[in-house]
Structure 1
Amino acid sequence: MGTDTQTSYRDAYARLSRIAAELETGEADLDRVLPLLEEAREAYVQCRERIEAVRAVLAGDWADGREPEEDEE
């Protein structure tokens, strides 16, 4: 699986939650553990990238002395 830049934070977080639940049961077949860990790593990277993007926007707004702008509808 390659990193999908279109994956939302919510989708990536849901993948992490699903994988964690499967691994926590202790019933994951050993042959399935490595692929699960690889998928979890990719989902983690996607979540981290989304969080860092939000932090960068907020830091830019606050660095300019402005409150972060809310989305206009």
Structure 2
Amino acid sequence: MRFMNGSYREAYATLSRIAAELETGEADLDRVLPLLEEARTAYAVCRERIEAVRAVLAGGWAGGEGGELAGDDEPADDAEDEEEES
């Protein structure tokens, strides 16, 4: 099964559906292997999307440098320096 544009939501829904079907214990044995193969594909899509988000967050966003998020204030140590100058 292919997920549209690597859709996390669609893949997660597939995993939820498969888990629910397997948890009932009523899944026909002949159906278990195809379900597990479908679950593996859906899991890979979810994992890929999560890793992509992690990579963006680790590298900062909106042009932040050094892994800092854009809009972060200066470190707290600078506040102490300003007090000493007064």
Given the two structures, how large is their TM-score scaled by the length of structure 2?
0.69
Give RMSD over aligned pairs.
Answer: 2.0
One-letter identity of the residue aligned with 2:12: Y
Q: Which residue of 2 aligns with 1:12?
A: 11
Distance 1:18 1:37, change over 3 A: same
Structure number with greater Rg is 2
1:31-65 deviation line (CA, Å, top 9, x unaligned): 00000000000000000000000000000007432
Aligned residues: 67
1:3-53 deviation line (CA, Å, top 9, x unaligned): 546131111000000000000000000000000000000000000000000
5+ residue gaps, structure 2, are: 72-86
Q: Which has the higher contact order (CA 8 A, sep 6+)?
A: 1
- Confirm whether residue 65 of structure 1 aligns to residue 68 of structure 2: yes
Q: Which residue of 2 aligns with 1:71?
A: none
One-letter identity of the residue aligned with 1:44: Y
Trace 1:16-31 onto structure 2 (pairs within 5 A): 16-31=15-30
